[in-house]
Amino acid sequence: MPLDQVPVGLVIGSPAHELFGGPESQFATLDALAEATRSCQLCGLHRTAKQAVPGHGNPHADLVCVGEAPGSNEDEQGLPFVGPAGQLLTKILGAIDLSREDVFICNVLKHRPPGNRNPLPDEVAACSPYLVRQIALLKPAVIVALGTFAAQTLLQSKEPIGKLRGKIHRYYGVPLIATYHPAALLRNPSWKRPTWEDVQLARRLLDRARSA
Ligand code: URA
């Protein structure tokens, strides 16, 4: 399907101000932001997590992947998506000709919720400015939201992932593709096909941005 016929999704923010060059410019670099997450006590998760998992990857990435929150492997290593879901994410990226070195990967929450429980609203509220600022600093050409939680948080929506996927949303002007979380794919292999279509769409948007 030609890109201009893909259904238009939700539009969050305006391209010009609030996010890029806007007032949330407290952290000048990704490293400064990562350092701040390591001593962050804005919610209770720092008490139970072993360490912060700020995000990792190419600071010049055109593509940013956003997941939910660190799990136990990530909590141990301080790096996002390093467990089984992360290995699948590496393969998914490989399928669209990207390596982990090409992209930047982060999560909505920077500390692991105990027992991998769902993030709580106050934790999301406390942690969101870090994600917003990361995206502002990275200025990606495309964002891929991995799973219900990242998609619903970024898009400020309660729609299920099945409804949010397959569209080109706009996050402060940046095309945002929502797709299934790799951990969900491990449980539901039938979602591999739609995920493949979603990442192909992200790839085409990336190619279009690069050739513009
Ligand atoms: N699941 C996520 O959402 N993020 C990670 O970093 C690992 C697993």
pLDDT digits (tens, 9 = 90+) for 134-186: 999 999 999 999 999 999 999 999 999 999 999 999 999 999 999 999 999 99
Rounded Cα distance, 138 and 161, in Å: 25
- 0.85 cut: is pTM over it? yes
Question: If DSSP codes are grouped into helix, strand and coil, which group holds residue 82?
Answer: coil
Structure confidence at residue 18 (pLDDT): 52
Residues 13-32: pLDDT tens digits? Answer: 665 545 555 445 689 999 99
Please give the structure tokens belonging to residue 33. 């932001």
Please give the structure tokens belonging to residue 101. 């070195």
Residues 83-115: pLDDT tens digits? Answer: 999 999 999 999 999 999 999 999 999 999 999
Q: Is 69 in the pocket of ligand 1 (CB under 6 A)?
A: yes
One-letter identity of residue 63: L
Ligand 1 geometric centre to CA of 209 (Å): 27
Domains of the chain: 7-211 (3.40.470.10)
Structure confidence at residue 23 (pLDDT): 46
Q: Among 53, 66, 81, 112, name the best residue to mutate to test ligand 1's pocket (greatest count of ligand atoms within 8 A of Cβ).
A: 81
Q: Is 108 in the pocket of ligand 1 (CB under 6 A)?
A: no
CA distances, 194 to each of 60, 81, 131, 158, 167 (Å): 28, 21, 26, 20, 12
